[in-house]
Amino acid sequence: MQIYKKILPLTLFSCIMKHFFVIVLWGFFNSCTPGSVPLLPAQDYDFSPHLHYLASDSLQGRLAGSRYDSLTAVYIRNTLLHCGYAPLCEEGWQPFEYKVAKRGSNKPGTRFSRNVVMISTPYDTSACAETVVLGAHFDHLGLGGWGSRRADTAAVHNGADDNASGVAMLLELAKKITQYPAPLKRNVVIVAFGAEELGLIGSNHFVRNLPPHSGKIVLMINFDMVGRLDTLRRLEIGGLTSFAGADSLLYTLPNPDSLTFFFPSHIKRNSDHAPFYAAGIPVLFFHTGLHADYHTPDDDVDKINLSGMHAIAHFADSLIRWAVTTEKPPVFQQTDIARKSSLLYERVEHILKVFDRKHLISQTI
């Protein structure tokens, strides 16, 4: 035993010295990995299977109203059922119809799509029940055409970031919520919205036709394009002006992966949180920003920053835990500054659209 005590440290020392430069180089390259975050426990969040399926060519870009749209909805509903969620609407579907005008080569007519609406179990069915809604849209642009930034190219727009990333986040957070210690003070409703890209059709339909037992919605958190966290770990969180104390709350919550927050002063109306905000509901909107592949066939799964999604999920998990346990839920406010800056933002966006339809962000993301 004595021999080990003497020899082992010496052997280790000589071994470390021998590989000194290799160790230094390994550390250097690892610290330079784009978007890298500290190593996380295995199976923390399992985004990959969702991303690979939702953004695969087999779903042909998940165009609203297509049979691929239905297949996507079935996948989301079944995943949530498997986690223990119950349908809030019949079988979890909230169907709706909408009309589309002729846009580019797309044919005009009436189309049908649906929201997937599920609730955590067991849930409070009393008249005073409160609810936290988590949402993400699952549709995208199909083979392109209207809405694509390469409108002349017919190719599968896989929409890995927009918005397979948001749906993967939604499903994995939903799974995490089932591990929270019961009872929760509020119900959690998970909504995967259809037909967002055509103008927030699914989310508008949901807000105007709340299913029975939706309760009083005290907060809506929207995930749209959360797969491209950059090397500075900048996460945009919109909606802060929709309830008092939101910014101090977000700085108080655990941020184990050192995300850098960007809080827009106005509430953008380009994603599914907008109808909730318009209905007087506090909202938060998670987003990692637009990029060169946005609304093109190049928005693919190999460009998703998985470690970045883990970092966002850790933070979102803290936020959701707060929302379902806090004594005093957020109270809606519409500040004058928020209203004015929102109007200004819309005017600037409209002017830019008139001048550059090709490169500017479309109405929704």
Residues binding Zn ion (CB under 5 A)? 162, 365
The span from the first CA to the last CA of the chain, in angstroms, equals 66
Count how many Cα atoms sit within 13 Å of the Cα of residue 236 in the half-sphere of its side chain: 19
Beta carbon of residue 335, minimum distance to Zn ion (angstroms, whole number): 28
Cα–Cα distances in Å, from 158 out to 16, 177, 242?
Answer: 47, 28, 33
Identify which of residues 210 and 290 has a Cβ nearer to Zn ion in the complex: 290
Task: Supply the angle between the helices 67-83 and 166-177 in degrees, to the nearest 10.
Answer: 20
The minimum distance between CB 161 and Zn ion, in angstroms, equals 9
Q: Least Å distance between CB 197 and Zn ion?
A: 5
In the complex, the smallest distance separating the C-beta of residue 63 from Zn ion, rounded to whole angstroms, is 12
Two structure tokens written together for 150: 């390469």
Spatial distance between the Cα atoms of 304 and 64, rounded to a whole number of angstroms: 23
Closer CB to Zn ion, 186 or 295, in the complex = 295
Instruction: Select 243 or 294, whichever has its Cβ closest to Zn ion.
Output: 294
Which of left, alpha, beta for 342 (phi over 0: left; psi -120 to 50: alpha)? alpha
Q: How far is the CB of 16 from Zn ion (least distance, A)?
A: 51
CB of 229 to Zn ion, least distance (A): 18
By C-alpha distance, which of 119, 277, 283, 96 is closest to 194? Answer: 96
User: Could you give the residue ranges of the DSSP H alpha helices within the chain?
Assistant: 2-18, 20-31, 48-54, 67-83, 166-177, 201-208, 246-252, 274-278, 306-325, 336-355
Which residue, 229 or 365, has its beta carbon nearer to Zn ion?
365
Query: 68 and 189 in contact (C-beta within 8 Å)?
Result: no
Rank residues 115 and 241 by Cβ distance to Zn ion and give the closer one: 115
At position 31, the amino acid (one-letter code) is S
Q: Which is nearer to Zn ion, 162 or 257 (CB)?
A: 162
Whole-angstrom Cα distance, residue 170 to residue 221?
10
CB of 365 to Zn ion, least distance (A): 5
In whole angstroms, how close is the CB of 303 to Zn ion at the nearest point? Answer: 15
Phi, psi torsion values for 248, nearest 5 degrees? -65, -35
Structure tokens at 204: 């508008």
- Smallest distance, Å, CB 166 to Zn ion? 10
Residue in the structure block whose two tokens are 């995208």:
140
Nearer to Zn ion (CB atom), residue 162 or residue 293: 162
Alpha carbons 52 and 305: distance in angstroms, whole number: 13
Q: Write phi, then psi, for 276 (nearest 5 degrees).
A: -65, -45
Residue of minimal CB distance from Zn ion? 162
**Closer CB to Zn ion, residue 148 or residue 305?**
148
Longest dimension (CA), the chain: 85
Indicate the residue among 162 and 300 with the shorter CB distance to Zn ion.
Answer: 162
